[in-house]
Chains A and B, each alone.
Chain A
Amino acid sequence: MVWVVPILAVLIGGWLIYQNLASRGPIAQVSFETADGIAAGKTEVRCRSVRVGMVKDLELTADLKAVTVSIQMDRHAAGLLREDTRFWVVRPRVSATDISGLGTLLTGAYIELEPGNGPQGPTSFLGLETPPPTNRNVPGRRLVLTADEAGSLLVGSPVYFLGMEVGRIETRDLAPDGRSVLYNAFIRQEFGDRVRENTRFWNTSGVDISAGATGIKVRTPSFQAMLAGGASFGTPDGVDPGKPAPDGMSFKLYPDEDAANSSLFNPTLKVLLLFEQSVRGLTKGAAVEFRGIPIGRVTNISFDYLPSGKDSRVPVLVEIDPSLLRRSLEGRVDGTDAKFLSTAVDRGLRGALKTESFITGTLFVDLAYYPDAAAEKLTQYGDYTAVPTVPTGLEQLELKVTTILNKIQALPLDDTMGKIAKAAEEAATTIAAARGTLDEINTTAAAARKMLEDPEFRGLPTDLRRTLDDLQKTVSSIGPDGSMQGDLMRTLDELRASLRSIKSLSTSIDEKPSSLLWGRDSSGNPVPRAPRVKH
């Protein structure tokens, strides 16, 4: 009867031991690069924080390049050893993006197991050095983001929606063509439906400082994003979100929110603009505006678009959404883009570079109608149509000044200068002579003054009056009833008589010049003598 006890005891003891032994599952060999933090007999293997095994032994591999960790799996976890089961060491990670595994600071690292979906069987695995992306069994949306530049978006950076963290960036890789960066983003299940086909993703890393004509804007979404980067997504206003995005859908990652919002346009039209002036200050991604409304972006600035050599204009390739432009051209909303463009150009559509900010000197492209512009046509360069351009602003001013200067240069200035020089010389001499004349005039004036001041001269007017009176008397006397006339007649008669006598004298002289000496003798001719009359 009492022998039941020992039998029972044996059974119980045996069962305890058996249970202990039997709870051991298979042994898995996992190879890691380093056994840092792993200790035999201590380090546990967990799957979702449930213990599924224990590290039994550590061994260097034969080539001394890796460590083989022998793991004693628990029996109930034997089924977790599948073909694509993954092992990685969970060490405390305190980084700006992630504070996790802090328990491991205290407990030491543990090995995390993520069961795969493949067939069971293998017992030898290659351990991962870094934790893989979110456990693929965790429900959620997995999306691909493409960015031109990695920026400060890191693996583990959070993904925000309306400021809330809804997911994280899992991996970061160069695209196969090496021209962009591919991110795998994981969005948690409950927010997965927020991502729609027309959702835009943008980079909200760090601090976004933009200085524009309106001023300086500083934006940062959160401290964590500032340290560790982050991406945000949303649907821009006025855009129909569309259906929820399926897993694996690819999105473009815009560099910032403004870029994402302005990506509303559908840039269907690529147009080439050739500028004669310098495009310094114009960058890729600069806005293309029509009357102040952004309708596109500068895609590229390169001489590749022009056939080689002779043209020195700078080609700027822009992509625009023509719908807004079309509306501006009343009455012609339909028709192909090409036709529309040509009509618009006929009406004066031109491209111009305008200054966005005088401080930074950035430029943007402005399309506008210039009704006074010289008529031009669209030209074709390779695949792209070129819209004609006009110089504006400073450039136009420069042009006008240049024309004026040219005109000035064309003037015959040398001749004119010569002539002026000569004229100046003559003027100089004339002035000298004039000066001499002036001096004489001065002296004359001085003499005249003296004369004027002479008292005799003062008497001159009265004398003159007297003289005038006398003259008047005289004139009257000379006049027809003047006494003078009678006298004059008598004088004249006497004169006549005298003349006759002179004449006879001269005749006698002529006949006998010796009469001057001998007098007149009577040659025998009787000469009658008239008696002398005395008056």
Chain B
Amino acid sequence: MTPRLPRAIDQGLASCHVCGKVTPVNRGRCPRCGESLHLRKPLSVQRTVALLLAALALYLPANMLPVMTISELGDVMASTILEGMVEFWHREAYPIAIVIFVASIMIPIVKIVALVWLCAAATGKVHPSPRVLGRIYWFTELLGRWSMVDIFVVSILVALVQFGAYMTVTPGPGALAFAGVVVLTMFAAMSFDPRLLWDRLEILNASETLQPTPNRE
């Protein structure tokens, strides 16, 4: 077993979240940029959970309300995400349907679930292995941004397809809700401090090795 490297938190050193300068946390403010210093993101889990709940709350209208309305030669068709996906599937545009499904339905749910799971792991409710944790966290970070694809699609369509009576796309309330969902999950991911996961591991390790661990803030 390799000797444990010292951890900054054990020594009370905090990295400024703006400029990165490492300073003892009891200084209160970063000497370089003046931002307040925290060892860990304050109320990280709380915030994350709150934001996730908000995202969930908005997810329902995002799927129930139409995302965009296509008026094609007077034929007005308002479609939700699911309806759009089904439409593309019926039109045998399978890749598009798959993309929509993945980007607009799967990813947000996966992200929310993953974050919830990560929060659970951070608070010690679940005990996955570090590798899994790492993978999942990386996955979440990676995928997060792709949820915006659907919003981009809608906004590009709305911006470009304005051909009067022939074809006009107008955004619907579902798009707004969906954008809210994606933004909130992004904020949730940003609020989540992954160091808490490692802290938890330390606690676990420490409970195995009976070493004192500092309280997480």
Contacts and interface: CB of A to CB of B under 8 A. Distances in A.
Partners in one complex: yes
Interface of A: 2-3, 5-6, 8-10, 12-14, 16-17, 20, 42, 44, 103-104, 106-108
Contact of A9 (B46, B55, B173): B55
B8 interface: no
Contacts of A10: 53-54, 57
Given A9-B57, A16-B173, A106-B165, A2 B65 contact: no
A13 B75 CA distance: 28
Contacts of A12: 57-58, 180
A44 B177 CA distance: 26
Contact of B47 (A2, A8, A13, A14): A2
A2 B177 contact: no
Interface string B129-169: 00000000000000000000000000000000000010000
Report the 3 A-B pairs with minimum CB-CB distance, sorted nearest first. Answer: A107-B74, A9-B54, A6-B54
B64 A106 contact: no
B36 to A, nearest CB: 15
A107 B50 contact: no
A9 B75 contact: no
Contact of B54 (A5, A20, A44, A104): A5
Contact of A106 (B43, B65, B74): B74
A13 B60 contact: yes
Interface of B: 43, 46-47, 50-51, 53-55, 57-61, 64-65, 73-77, 165, 173, 177, 180, 184, 191
Given A2-B43, A106-B75, A107-B75, A9 B64 contact: no
B69 to A, nearest CB: 12
B50 A3 contact: yes
Interface of A is mostly: helix
Given A103-B74, A107-B74, A5 B184 contact: yes
Given A9-B180, A107-B75, A17 B51 contact: no
A52 B105 CA distance: 32
Given A20-B65, A107-B74, A108-B74, A5 B58 contact: no
Nearest to A108: B75
Interface centre among A9, A20, A44, A107 (most CB of B within 10 A): A9
Contacts of A103: 74
19 contacts: A2-B43, A2-B50, A3-B46, A9-B180, A10-B57, A12-B57, A13-B57, A13-B60, A13-B177, A17-B65, A20-B61, A42-B76, A42-B77, A44-B76, A106-B165, A107-B74, A107-B76, A108-B74, A108-B75
